[in-house]
DNA sequence: CGTGAACTTGAGATTTCTCAAGCGGGGTGG
DNA sequence: CCACCCCGCTTGAGAAATCTCAAGTTCACG
């Protein structure tokens, strides 16, 4: 189960056996959670641990006083859910999209592992830089793309990352987000999201149904979303 | 001049004299630039250096093939312009809003300084985490706030950061962005940005004219933008 | 002064939103 | 085991925010 996390780190930096052992040792026993659970709470200073997602899917979000919500990212197994906690408080919450498991890493112990294993520190740092690159990509989408391109781009990104995390099965992958989640991540209304989703389906590009994404025409979907996977910093994969 | 950079780092982590000396030694001779200059180019793998802004203002942006542009952040003296370059390529460009100076830090030398001075490494890492927090705040704005609140929030953020960088003079601070820059950072058209700016002025909250921001009613502006400075991780300041 | 970029304002066009209503699936309690 | 119910999906229709096109003005600079 820890393998997913190591694989994620090793996408960015080669690790030695000692590095891997250090990482494995710092993770506490996995805790199971159900769909809809709150994994991390905004301003939650209590648990001095960093959470690593081992299975299932989750999303970060920030919710305004009046209920409007912006989803900030989606997460696959192997992702660290609250990396900022290493050095500061977290300014967002994390909810579970599906049931799954997450392992806690005590902050102090993790800092020690990073001090002892510089490559691990570098991999985690790079992970946080890639997160920032994803935020930039979303910013461009929400700020400057039409609903059609924005949704196509998001689906490309999600599919690519889930595939890299080993969750995909051919051109299908599980993605238990509702259209409400999608609209809150895209800055659109649910109604409009629904209509555009139907359009993408009619165009034969993707279909998002039954809690999964089915890619029908990858090249077309990438073109519709002006998608270029470079910013995800994933190792080259088969097209 | 290097002081601005050190002050920025020390906002996050206390440094020793040796740490400061290490940082100072890694910076090359400052290079002057003019307003409108391109300081960093997207996909620019050439110069193996990281740029530190010493004076003047700059902005990161990503420009799409057809010319639409999204501005991703604004920068004050002391900011690192292309931190991701430490571990990967940069996926954005940086332009100068005003004339100023920037100092290059060779990547390899900087990595060595970080290895020798863990506190410096931590400060830089935290800097990148704060950048991510700012991206999240923008994402919430562009995704879920009205043009009015979005502009108010941006002006609060910019003013707060410039003030922290020592650029403000009372309730005024230089901000040489045009309305075109503003609209590209907000995901709005120039026309609409102009109208809302006029509204904010009529409401007695702020005025953005003559390349500077004048705050007229800070409490009102913060309320209009639902602004809470926490995410900027700045040391407490006078209200 | 002449010029170009930036700013301002008007007016009509669009995208996207909100309100509303009906449908459907699957989870659960009787 | 079945019926009910809730949540999510879907579609219609009018409303609102924001955009685009267009033209005039101002201001800094050469």
Which residues 23-82 of A have a C-beta within 8 angstroms of B? Answer: 62, 64-65, 68-70, 72
Cβ of B69 near strand D (under 7 Å)? The reply is: no
Residue range A55-96, pLDDT digits in tens: 999 999 999 988 899 999 999 999 999 999 999 999 999 999
Q: Does B14 touch chain A (CB under 8 A)?
A: no
Q: State the pLDDT at residue A237.
A: 66
Those residues whose beta carbons lie under 7 A from strand C are A 146-148, 187-193, 210; B 178-180, 190-191, 194-195, 197-198, 209
Q: State the pLDDT at residue B238.
A: 52
Q: State the pLDDT at residue B46.
A: 67
Q: State the pLDDT at residue B120.
A: 97
Please check whether residue B30 is in contact with residue B4, taking contact to mean a CB–CB distance below 8 angstroms.
no
Written as tens digits, the pLDDT of chain B (239 aa) is: 789 999 999 999 999 999 999 999 999 999 999 999 999 988 767 679 999 999 999 999 999 988 899 999 999 999 999 999 999 999 999 999 999 999 999 999 999 999 999 999 999 999 999 999 999 999 999 999 999 999 999 999 999 999 999 999 999 999 999 999 999 999 999 999 999 999 999 999 999 999 999 999 999 999 999 999 999 999 876 55
Residue B227 DSSP code: -
User: Given the DSSP bridges, would you call strands B100-106 and B212-215 parallel, antiparallel or unpaired?
Assistant: unpaired
Q: State the pLDDT at residue A147.
A: 98
Structural element, H or E, at residue A214: strand A212-215
Q: State the pLDDT at residue B191.
A: 98
Q: Which residues of chain A have pLDDT under 50?
A: none
For every residue of B86-151, DSSP letters joined together read: GTS---SEEEESS-EEEEEEEHHHHHHHHHH-HHHHHHHHHHHHHHHHHHHHHHHHHHHS-HHHHH
The Cβ of residue B49 has, within 10 Å, a number of other Cβ atoms equal to 19
Q: State the pLDDT at residue B236.
A: 77
Distances (CA, A) of B12 to A63, B9, B119, B227: 26, 6, 10, 21
Going by C-beta distance under 8 Å and a sequence separation of 6 or more, which residues neighbour residue A219?
none
List chain C nucleotides near protein: any atom < 7 Å from a Cβ.
5-11, 15-20, 26
3-state secondary structure of A152: helix
Report residue B102: phi and psi, to 5°: -135, 145
Please check whether residue B111 is in contact with residue B86, taking contact to mean a CB–CB distance below 8 angstroms.
yes
Q: State the pLDDT at residue A109.
A: 97
């Amino acid at each position: 189960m820890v393998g997913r996390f190591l694989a994620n780190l090793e996408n960015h930096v080669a690790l030695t056996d000692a590095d891997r052992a250090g990482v494995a040792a710092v993770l506490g026993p996995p805790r199971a959670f159900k769909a809809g659970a709150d994994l991390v709470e905004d301003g939650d200073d209590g648990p001095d641990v960093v959470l690593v997602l081992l299975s299932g899917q989750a999303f970060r979000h920030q919710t305004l006083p009046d209920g409007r919500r912006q989803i900030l990212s989606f997460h696959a197994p192997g992702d660290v859910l609250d990396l900022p906690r290493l050095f500061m408080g977290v300014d967002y919450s994390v909810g579970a999209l599906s049931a799954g498991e997450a392992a806690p890493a005590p902050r102090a112990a993790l800092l020690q592992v990073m001090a002892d294993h510089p490559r691990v520190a570098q991999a985690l740092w790079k992970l946080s830089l890639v997160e920032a690159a994803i935020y930039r990509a979303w910013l461009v989408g929400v700020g400057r793309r039409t609903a059609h391109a924005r949704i196509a781009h998001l689906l490309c990104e999600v599919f690519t990352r889930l595939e890299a995390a080993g969750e995909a099965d051919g051109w299908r992958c599980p993605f238990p987000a509702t259209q409400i989640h999608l609209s809150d991540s895209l800055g659109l209304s649910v109604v409009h999201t629904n209509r555009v989703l139907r359009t993408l389906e009619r165009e034969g590009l993707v279909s998002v149904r039954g809690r999964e994404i089915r890619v029908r025409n990858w090249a077309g979907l990438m073109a519709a979303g002006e998608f270029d996977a470079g910013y995800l910093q994933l190792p080259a994969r088969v097209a």
